Amino acid sequence: MKYSSTIEIEGDIDHLHQCLLAEDASPKADRSTCNMKKTKNHLIFTITATDAVALRASANSIMKLLSVYEKAEKIQ
């Protein structure tokens, strides 16, 4: 089976996109891949995985990065 998921973030995403570029350049895993695409007002993550556990792990990684970004923005 093949699984896929999309996470879409709306708003002023320029700074977030810059912060996550290094993560997007990381080596791809055997069981899942994640692509990031920036449009004018959206940042779109597309995850594809060979199994549900790998899909969940990739989604959790993205959500953790977003959580850290939100907390850092509140500090400023």
Q: Residue 13 sits in a domain of what CATH number?
A: 3.30.310.50
Percent of the chain predicted with pLDDT > 70: 91
Identify the domain containing residue 15 by its residue range: 3-75
In the predicted model, what is the mean pLDDT of the chain?
A: 89
**Where does residue 58 rank: exposed (0-12), middle (13-18), buried (19+ CB within 10 A)?**
buried
pLDDT, tens only, 47-69: 999 999 999 999 999 999 999 99
| Position 23 pLDDT exceeds 70 | no
Cα gap 70→21, rounded to integer Å: 16
Total domains in the chain come to 1
Task: Report the run of H or E that residue 64 belongs to, with start and end.
Answer: helix 52-75
39 — pLDDT class (breaks 50, 70, 90): very high
Query: What is the per-residue pLDDT for 12?
Result: 82
Mean predicted confidence (pLDDT) in 14-24: 83
